[in-house]
Amino acid sequence: MVRLGILGCSEIAYRRFMPAVLECDGLEVVVVGEEYAPVKLKEFCEKYSLETTTSFDEIINRSDLDAVYIPQPPALHYKWAKKALEHGKHVFLEKPSTTGFHGSEELVCLAREKKLALHENYMFQYHSQISRIIEMVNAGKIGDVRLFRTDFTFPRRDNNDFRYNSVRYTMIRQVCACLITIKLGEIIK
């Protein structure tokens, strides 16, 4: 049984991650923490009956947890993932893993050194439509592939949402699209 702590009560953790975890054998969410939005922590606790804390460090320092899930804004991913890896925890991050190449590279090296898993929640590479595209390319059904372009988008949010206030986010979105293209290119070869 993998015992997991969640660092943050984001919408994706509440509406998508927790329902999926509840269907998963071998995974138990033990505690959820929220440092910024106490109302969300209360809602999380009421719906999922989890232990709660207002300290992410408290979760990371626990010896009874194997892993953490980090559904924080991208600018906080590096900080908390690094701390978790340094404390011997496997890490599951929401996308993008960090706000820059060097931070991501450092986390990958640290995870490798500690023999821990570091995984970014990019479900696209496992989606059946990607398998179908690869199948079609390999079968020659669409001719020679010269360009493969992807876009990563999300539903429109309130105007003051953090996603709209960051120049870095635009850059991150472009990097994510490039990484998907590179991954698909490796698979197609």
116: closest CA among 147, 93, 150? 93
Residue 167 CA: distances (Å) to CA of 17, 79, 163, 172? 28, 20, 9, 9
Active-site residue, 95 included: yes
What is the residue type of 94? E
Please tell me what DSSP assigns to residue 14: I
Handedness of CA 37, 33, 104, 185 (dihedral sign): negative
Tell me which of 40, 79, 95, 183 is the catalytic residue: 95
How far, in Å, are 72, 113, 163 from residue 12 at the CA level? 10, 30, 14
Structure tokens at 107: 């986390």
Burial class (CB in 10 A: 0-12, 13-18, 19+), 130: middle
Tell me the catalytic residues.
95
